[in-house]
């Protein structure tokens, strides 16, 4: 006993000594403390006293931009964390339970098609009521609106990855009798991690696209502009201040570079170990910050302790963690229960459609409904053309970037910045050119629809190409595949599941973006393209709620129809024929 006690004390002393700070700890400590300090300071500013009607002044002084950048980045990071949790829950349920899939996937299609402004209008009053007398209510409304611009593509990415886990890995999980809980944490989540991280980057960049609308909130005829880059941009556009817009672009670029170097690049480099390989990995991205953290002693000790506490919390949350339990065995769904559930879902959908149709008929009439459906068809035509052109451009580029890790490191922040560039900054140039040369808005406003959403295709294709097993690349080389045959037999099938995820999100985002791209205003000039997006923008501006409901309902109808009859079929093809 004494010998055992002595050994235990010696182990504790050695373990404690191994966690003594070294020179790398002293280099990493200022960075970590600085990040924590600024996050704490920004969080404290979110809960200041506030009553609706109190002025929140926004200044175009460039010296305030670091503070505005901190507030916006904190909102987007909070929304990103919530989106990550939502993606885990959505994918775990929809990817494993057929009944949940029947309900949750169409629901996600609907949520994806609802404009960000629609969520903001519905939820802002409720959040303010939750935190009376505090700015936190308005902050929560803005964070939730940003969440709605980030969560859907991450959820689709997780769902697609779980449905395309290689069959040999699934068979190994069955052989080892892993429970559903174990399969998620030890197989499905690690396999989905590379693609999920690329979609997290896209979500952050996509959040910048809508940050102007999310930080400028109207409640009870009061316009609330939260301190942030989005409200700064809105104010600069309203004042037609080109120098302030240039300062805002510079601040955005600085913020993107910072969280790329301190968050996303370390995560991408760390996730390289999850790449599905049967041979040794031939390299991947590197991160100076991750290398610095790996050389520390004290920071790694604290991190290991936090991970240990997290794992203990998971064990407490899931007490039946025994992989050999009855829960590890696949359970068959009762066919009768499945048919009854299908009937109930169909009845609820028909009832909802009847109620919405009755309300719209009584408020606006069927003639207006037919006119709005025609507008929806025009917008559908624009979305189809733009997604096709974007795919032809970005799929080859994404495959090339994904297969060359060195170029990925260099181009990653550039792609993030381009994806984050707000379409609002394009409005002056577009309006000036179209007015000067008398161009048709129905044609030349169309590219704005895909300006902020085409990057979903690029980021997902890069993610899909980066996880192609090295042995498949070697096999293609050994078989002498080149030119079009290489694309047809190898590269396109390899990235097809990731492309479908990017295309379905880009398509839904383009419908959402049509609201700001078909109705463009700059100064005294307003350009309108005939379509569903401009219809919703105009009736929203006049406060015509029945027509707003009609426009959003028609948009939901088109998005769901495209997803069910096009994208879902492509999903099935990806699962059955084009997964590793």
Note whether 299 and 424 are same-domain residues.
no
Residues 225 and 293 in one domain: no
For 395, list phi and psi in degrees, rounded to 5. Answer: -65, -50
Task: Give domain status of residue 32, yes or no.
Answer: no
Sign of CA dihedral 88, 92, 93, 94: positive
CA distances from 407 to 104, 265, 461, 499 (A): 38, 13, 15, 20
Q: What is the DSSP letter of 250?
A: H
CB 129 within 8 A of CB 137: yes
Residues 254, 312, single domain; the answer is no
Instruction: Indicate if 309 and 410 belong to the same structural domain.
Output: no
Domain tally, the chain: 2
How many angstroms separate the Cα of 357 from the Cα of each of 140, 363, 511, 538? Answer: 33, 10, 22, 22
For the chain, 580 residues long, give each residue's pLDDT as a single digit of tens: 444 444 444 444 445 445 678 888 888 888 889 988 988 898 888 888 888 777 778 888 899 999 999 999 999 999 999 999 999 999 888 887 877 887 888 788 777 767 666 666 667 778 888 888 888 888 888 898 889 888 888 998 888 888 878 878 888 888 888 877 788 888 888 888 888 888 888 888 877 777 877 887 766 666 778 899 988 888 887 787 888 888 988 898 888 888 888 888 898 888 877 776 554 455 566 788 888 888 888 888 888 888 777 777 766 665 544 444 434 444 455 666 666 666 776 677 677 777 777 766 677 777 888 899 999 999 999 999 999 999 999 999 999 988 887 777 777 777 777 777 766 667 677 777 887 888 888 888 888 888 778 888 988 898 888 878 878 888 888 888 888 888 888 888 888 988 988 888 888 888 877 887 888 876 677 788 899 988 988 887 777 778 887 888 888 888 888 887 888 788 778 777 766 5
Cα pseudo-dihedral 193, 196, 198, 200, rounded to 10: -130
How many CA atoms within 13 Å lie on the side-chain side of 498?
Answer: 33
Sequence-ordered alpha helix ranges (H) in 467-565: 470-478, 483-486, 492-517, 532-542, 545-562
Tell me the whole-structure pTM to 2 decimals. Answer: 0.80
Are 209 and 516 within 8 A, CB to CB? no
> What is the distance between the alpha carbons of residues 248 and 418, in angstroms, rounded to a whole number?
14
Asked whether the CA dihedral 441, 446, 447, 449 is positive or negative, the reply is positive
Classify residue 22: in a domain, yes or no.
no
In a domain, 21, yes or no: no
Find the DSSP H helices in 131-241: 136-163, 167-175, 180-183, 189-215, 229-239
Residue 14 maps to a domain: no
CB 79 within 8 Å of CB 119: no
Distance CA 297, CA 25 (A): 7
| Shared-domain flag, residues 425 and 517 | yes
Q: Do 141 and 205 have their domain in common?
A: yes
DSSP per position, 227-244: SSHHHHHHHHHHHT-HHH
**Does 295 lie in the same domain as 254?**
no
Does one domain contain both 165 and 297? no
Flag whether 44 is in a domain.
Answer: no
What are the DSSP calls for 336-390, one per residue? HHHHHHHHHHHHHHHHHHHHHHHHHHHHT-HHHHHHHHHHHHHHHHHHHHHHHHH
Domain of 137, in residue numbers = 59-273+364-577
Residue with tokens 């929203």: 540
Nearest to 253, CA basis, from 414, 407, 143, 72? 414
Residue 211: which CATH number? 1.10.3720.10
> Domain for residue 444, yes or no?
yes
Same domain, 386 and 486: yes
On whether residue 28 sits in a domain, the answer given is no
In a domain, 534, yes or no: yes
Angstrom distance (rounded) from CA 116 to CA 80:
16
Structure tokens at 176: 């080892």
420-458: b (≥16 Cβ within 10 Å) or e: bbbbbbbbbebbeebeeeeeebbeebbbbbbbbbbbbbb
Kindly state the helix (H) or strand (E) to which residue 436 belongs, with its residue range: helix 427-437
Work out the angle between the directed axes of helices 189-215 and 229-239 (0-180°, nearest 10): 40
| 291 lies in the same domain as 269 | no
Helix (H) and strand (E) counts in the chain: 27, 4
**Same structural domain for residues 528 and 486?**
yes
Question: How many alpha carbons fall within 13 Å on the CB side of residue 147?
Answer: 18
398/505 same-domain check: yes
């Amino acid at each position: 006993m004494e010998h055992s006690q002595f050994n235990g004390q010696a182990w504790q002393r050695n373990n404690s000594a191994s966690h003594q700070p070294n020179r790398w700890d002293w280099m990493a400590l200022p960075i970590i403390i600085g990040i924590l300090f600024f996050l704490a300071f920004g969080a404290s500013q979110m809960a200041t006293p506030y009553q609706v009607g109190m002025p929140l002044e926004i200044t175009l002084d460039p010296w305030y931009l670091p503070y505005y950048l901190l507030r916006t980045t904190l909102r987007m990071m909070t929304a990103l964390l919530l989106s990550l949790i939502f993606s885990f829950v959505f994918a775990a349920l929809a990817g494993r339970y057929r009944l949940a899939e029947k309900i949750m996937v169409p629901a996600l299609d609907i949520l994806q098609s609802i404009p960000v402004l629609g969520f903001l209008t519905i939820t802002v009053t409720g959040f303010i009521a939750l935190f009376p007398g505090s700015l936190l209510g308005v902050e929560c409304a803005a964070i939730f609106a940003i969440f709605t611009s980030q969560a859907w593509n991450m959820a689709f990415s997780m769902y697609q990855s779980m449905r395309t886990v290689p069959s040999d890995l699934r068979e190994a999980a069955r052989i080892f009798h892993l429970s559903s809980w174990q399969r998620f944490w030890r197989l499905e989540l690690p396999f989905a991690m590379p693609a999920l991280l690329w979609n997290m980057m896209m979500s952050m960049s996509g959040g910048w696209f809508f940050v102007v609308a999310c930080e400028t909130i109207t409640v009870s005829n009061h316009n609330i502009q939260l301190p942030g880059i989005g409200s700064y941009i809105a104010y600069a556009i309203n004042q037609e201040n080109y120098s302030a817009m240039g300062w805002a672009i510079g601040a955005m670029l600085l913020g993107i570079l910072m969280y790329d170097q301190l968050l996303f690049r370390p995560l991408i480099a760390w996730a390289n170990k999850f790449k599905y390989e049967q041979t040794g990995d031939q390299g991947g991205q590197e991160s100076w910050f991750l290398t610095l953290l790996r050389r520390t002693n004290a920071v790694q000790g604290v991190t290991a302790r936090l991970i240990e506490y997290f794992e203990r919390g998971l064990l407490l949350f899931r007490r039946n963690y025994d992989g050999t339990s009855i829960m590890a065995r696949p359970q068959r769904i009762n066919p009768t229960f499945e048919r009854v559930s299908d009937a109930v879902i169909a009845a609820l959908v028909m009832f909802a459609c009847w109620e919405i149709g009755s309300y719209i008929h009584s408020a606006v009439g069927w003639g207006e409904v037919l006119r709005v459906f025609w507008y929806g068809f025009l917008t559908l035509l624009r979305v189809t053309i733009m997604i096709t052109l974007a795919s032809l451009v970005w799929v080859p580029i994404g495959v090339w970037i994904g297969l060359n890790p060195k170029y990925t490191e260099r181009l990653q922040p550039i792609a993030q910045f381009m994806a984050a560039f707000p379409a609002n900054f394009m409005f002056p140039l577009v309006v000036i050119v179209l007015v000067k040369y008398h161009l048709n808005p129905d044609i030349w406003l169309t590219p704005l629809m895909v300006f902020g959403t085409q990057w979903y295709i690029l980021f997902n294709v890069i993610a899909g190409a980066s996880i192609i097993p090295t042995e498949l690349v070697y096999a293609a080389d050994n078989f002498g595949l080149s030119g079009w045959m290489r694309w047809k037999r190898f590269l396109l099938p390899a990235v097809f599941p990731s492309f479908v995820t990017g295309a379905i999100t880009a398509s839904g985002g383009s419908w959402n973006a049509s609201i700001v791209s078909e109705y463009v205003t700059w100064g005294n000039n307003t350009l309108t393209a005939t379509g569903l997006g401009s219809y919703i923008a105009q009736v929203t501006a006049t406060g015509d709620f029945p027509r707003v409901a009609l426009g959003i309902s028609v948009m939901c109808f088109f998005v769901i129809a495209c997803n069910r009859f096009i994208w879902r079929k492509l999903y099935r093809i990806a699962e059955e024929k084009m997964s590793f």
